[in-house]
A and B are shown apart, each in its own frame.
Chain A
Amino acid sequence: MSETQKQEQTTTHKIGIYLWIWGLLFVLSFFSYMVDWYQFQGLLRWSLILIFMFLKAGLIMAFFMHLFWERYALVNVLLWPMTAIACFIFLMVAEFEYTFFTRLFYFVAGG
């Protein structure tokens, strides 16, 4: 009984939205491949890679995984832990820079 009630709550979306997102994902993937094809370097390369990556990830999560239509209680439980990952990234950036300069100092400069 409860199953059927829940089933009725599930709204399906028009096929157009899926096809649009699908097309966008293709275009964005093509763009990120072009970043390598034209051999962009430096800050331009990294920022383009990150922009296309986050756009693709966002589209997949929002529409293919239906997060855009989910209750905030679920969305927030899923997205807030990502800040822990961001913290971890910052910690490890400090760590690899320290390791790099230590190696430079002792292996190359010779102490």
Chain B
Amino acid sequence: MSDPKIEGYEFKPGFRGMAQDTGSDQTMFKGVHWGKAMMWIFLLSDTFIFSCFLISYMKGRGSTLIDWPNPSEVFGLHVFGVDVPLLLIAIMTFVLITSSGTMALAVKYGYEKNRKMCGWLILATAIGGLTFVGMQAFEWSKLIHEGVRPWENPFGSPQFGSFFFMITGFHGTHVSIGVIFLFIYAYKTFKGHYDEGKKGWFTSMKGDYVEIEILGLYWHFVDLVWVFIFAFFYLW
């Protein structure tokens, strides 16, 4: 357990503070819960994984001689007799942003020890995530039905399918894992584990609302990755 020894220690802001924090032969991330620091470092490594996927997608799309399928048409939906481009993807984006907002508020209410509000907001976030995964499953089955495979598709360049399934699949896995944890944390919040300081299942750490912020970091990261996938895969 990291213990910030800050008695008689002056916190300096900005780069001077960074140099002092890093060089002071103490805890580097002062006042930052160790779980939060570890989550950030995990997210950093996850950033590299998603970057590698998106960069390989860029490389694949940039080097093919056959035209890339037009995502605006491939992901378009036919509703009420009109072709709407990227409709499902737009809805998915809004659902994910909504769930990100409810998560941010859950963190806020958690720190204010507002157990009920925090729990309901986490539950709302989980339901948003579940909706997102459901729509993604619908999108996948629609494309598979239309003949999109990792090695071929009827719309254009054959690499399209492999990048699509790899990138959105990996992102969808992250969302699914997040949803599972959101339900667990919603249960723990409603049960009052964070008010009583009850220990978790795999840790000796006492329950604390900082755990909600750590979960929130993961969830916002999932939304963050979607921002990049939406821009590069669906809009580009």
Contact = CB atoms under 8 A, between A and B. Distances in A.
Nearest to B13: A72
Interface string A1-28: 0110011011011010011011001100
Nearest to A75: B18
Interface residues of B, number: 66
Contacts of A45: 235
Q: Chain A contact residues (Cβ within 8 angstroms of B): what range?
A: 35 or more
Main secondary structure of the interface of A (DSSP, over half): helix
B48 interface: yes
Contact of A12 (B65, B97, B112, B217): B112
Interface in A1-59: 2-3, 6-7, 9-10, 12-13, 15, 18-19, 21-22, 25-26, 29, 32-33, 35-37, 39, 45-46, 49-50, 52-53, 56-57
B224 A57 contact: yes
Nearest to A73: B21
B236 interface: yes
A57 B231 CA distance: 11
Contacts of A74: 29, 32, 37, 40
8 closest A-B pairs by CB: A96-B62, A99-B63, A22-B101, A53-B231, A73-B21, A72-B18, A96-B63, A96-B59
